[in-house]
Amino acid sequence: MPEPLRTVVADDHYLVREGTRGLLETSGEVVVIGAVGNADELIDAVRRLNPDVVLTDIRMPGGDWRPGFEGIDAAHRIHAEHPGVGIVVLSQYSDALFAFELFKHGTEGFAYLLKDRVGDLDELLGAIRAVATGGSVIDPKVVEGLLARHDVRGDPESLTPRERDVLREMAHGRSNGGIARALHLSVSSVEKNVNSIFTKLGLETSADVHRRVAAVLAYLGP
């Protein structure tokens, strides 16, 4: 049997925090090594305990963090300091712009789930397992909301096989350089394919839409 994933849980509501701890530990796949109530405590716990995975609420008032983005900002700091730690952000917001904010530097090792997923242990554990191995997960409701707003207007089926390969690697969180190495292409060739993907998916430059994340959302969507 594999060792349980060592996890830190962060939520400013005590009952939610302890309820999540209890739920996770019933699975036998996770051991909660720390449970904290704000972003400052989360950063400190990760530095002290070196977990495999962090499960954090998106909002944890207090400290000098951006109001409403405390969990996301903490996730970015943790990823910068401890790139091997997987991070699942739980949010009450289905608006894809919050997912864009989490994934703006890449998708590898990040998951964005709506808080009602906490009640679905299999889905929650699936996200934890995914980020622990460098994968990424985006809540299906967020994808549906993105497509409903027509941020992605093109058809992913129109992509060539090579463009699909590039988009798949983007979904794995790789940079253009990482994609080039994975697919044995030049960086310039990857850049051309990325631009073609954006065009075919109707992803125009916008201050409100991170095109790389939007393309990945299209790829992961139904």
Tell me which amino acid residue 160 is. Answer: T
Q: How many CA atoms lie within 13 A of 22 on its CB side?
A: 7
Q: What is the 3-state secondary structure (H, E, C) of 31-82?
A: EEEEEECCHHHHHHHHHHHCCCEEEEECCCCCCCCCCCCHHHHHHHHHHHHC
Question: Do 18 and 99 belong to one domain?
Answer: yes
Q: Could you give the number of structural domains in the chain? A: 2
* Three-class secondary structure of residue 111 per DSSP: strand
Tell me which amino acid residue 175 is. Answer: S
Separation CA 55–CA 176 (nearest Å):
28
Per residue in 38-58, pLDDT tens? 999 999 999 999 999 999 999
- CATH number of the domain within which 51 lies: 3.40.50.2300
- pLDDT at residue 117 in the model: 78
Question: Do 107 and 156 belong to one domain?
Answer: no
Question: Do 123 and 98 belong to one domain?
Answer: yes
Percent over 90 (pLDDT), the chain:
45
Q: Select from 119, 138, 157 the last residue of a domain.
A: 138
Q: What is the mean pLDDT of residues 1-20?
A: 92
Q: Which residues face 104 on adjacent strands?
A: none
pLDDT at 74 over 80: yes
* Three-class secondary structure of residue 182 per DSSP: helix
Question: Do 26 and 128 belong to one domain?
Answer: yes
pLDDT at 35 over 80: yes
161 compared with 31, residue with greater pLDDT: 31
Are the beta carbons of 215 and 197 closer than 8 angstroms?
yes
Tell me which amino acid residue 100 is. Answer: F
Give the chain's mean pLDDT.
83
Question: Do 126 and 100 belong to one domain?
Answer: yes
Question: Do 81 and 122 belong to one domain?
Answer: yes
Q: What is the mean pLDDT of residues 200-205?
A: 68
Question: Do 40 and 76 belong to one domain?
Answer: yes
The residue range of the domain holding 213 is 147-220
Question: Do 211 and 173 belong to one domain?
Answer: yes
Question: Do 121 and 170 belong to one domain?
Answer: no
Question: Do 130 and 39 belong to one domain?
Answer: yes
Q: Select from 100, 115, 138 the last residue of a domain.
A: 138
pLDDT at 207 over 50: no
Question: Do 73 and 169 belong to one domain?
Answer: no
- CATH number of the domain within which 153 lies: 1.10.10.10
Q: How confident is the model at residue 155 (pLDDT cuts 50, 70, 90)?
A: low
The strand order across the sheet containing 86-91 reads 30-36, 5-10, 53-57, 86-91, 110-114, 137-138
Question: Do 129 and 168 belong to one domain?
Answer: no
What residues contact residue 185 under an 8 Å CB cut-off, 6+ apart?
Answer: 179, 193
Q: Select from 115, 138, 161 the last residue of a domain.
A: 138
Per residue in 97-150, pLDDT tens? 788 788 877 778 899 999 887 888 888 998 899 899 888 888 877 766 654 544
What residues contact residue 66 under an 8 Å CB cut-off, 6+ apart?
Answer: 73
